[in-house]
Amino acid sequence: MEKTLIVRLTFARQSGVLMTIKAVVVDVDGTLTDLDKVISTSGIEALREVQRKGVPVSIASGNVLPVTYGLSTYLGLKGPMVAENGGVVCYQERIYQLSEGVLPEQAYEHLRTKMPVERLFTDNWRRTEVALRRTMDVERVKAELKGWNVTIEVTGFAIHLMDPGHGKAAGVRKVAEILGIGMSEIASFGDSDNDVGMLRECGESVAVANASPAAKGAAKYVSAYPHAAGVIDGLKRLGLL
């Protein structure tokens, strides 16, 4: 692993504790992109500047690994990649599968007998969870799966059926393990309910202005700016830009 520059900063906490950030983890949909899934080039340039200072940047996405891998590679990001909401982590072409995905598939098959369901196109490559189109009735999905030991995560773009314990926080813990750092040394950025775990567990965390109430409640800082502008604002507040 390349030697990282340790960035020391004060995050305007009441405690005034001096923190150390050694890695950045950022969600994609709704955080680096707008609601039409168009990615912000200014946000990417900001993250590249952070890396030029020696702090690796990781994507933490609900998307499948082929999409996450391609995006991370072409954007020039160097940190381990978190895909499928933490079910899969990839670094230097080594894949770590953190969840089995058997129970979510069984729950999906049960759900098909109760109501019309439609999976995302990217589920053709999904291995640890099931992702349903966001146009479905979320409350009915929850009602039909009552009693099933599955986690249901809802984002602005999909409904995810996952194993218990499956989540972005688990994926980011694996990132910390790979990089040889602690969760307290990671800054995370997100906007949705599926980002809550990592926002809560990381040493520093930023929710963009368009974030869900749960994401805002879990973050250490809530930006007044939406999407990538909020990421840039958070990076500046953290002293990374």
Measured at the alpha carbon of residue 182, what is the angle toward residues 29 and 219, in degrees to the nearest 5? 40
Start-end of CATH 3.90.1070.10 domains in the chain: 102-162
Band (pLDDT 50/70/90 cuts) for residue 18 is very low
Element housing 20 (H / E) = strand 18-21
Residue 216 to residues 43, 48, 160, 203: CA-CA distances in angstroms? 20, 25, 20, 15
3-state class (DSSP) for residue 156: coil
Structure tokens at 155: 């984002």
Chosen CATH of 7-98+166-237 out of 3.20.10.10, 3.40.50.1000, 3.20.20.70, 3.40.630.10: 3.40.50.1000
> For residue 15, what pLDDT is reported?
36
| Residue type present at position 61 | S
- Provide the whole-model pTM: 0.88
Instruction: Tell me the per-residue pLDDT of 155-183, one tens digit each, with 9 for 90 and over.
Output: 878 999 999 989 999 999 999 999 999 99
CA 85 to chain centre: 6
pLDDT at 35: 86
Over range 117-144, report the average pLDDT: 95
Spatial contact of 178 and 162, defined as CB atoms under 8 Å apart: no
- All CATH 3.40.50.1000 domain ranges of the chain, comma separated, are 7-98+166-237
C-alpha–C-alpha distance, residues 133 and 123, integer Å: 11
Q: Is pLDDT of 240 > 60?
A: yes
27 is catalytic: yes
The CATH class of the 102-162 domain is alpha beta
Pick the catalytic residue from 27, 163, 191, 193: 27
Mean pLDDT, to the nearest integer, of 186-202?
96
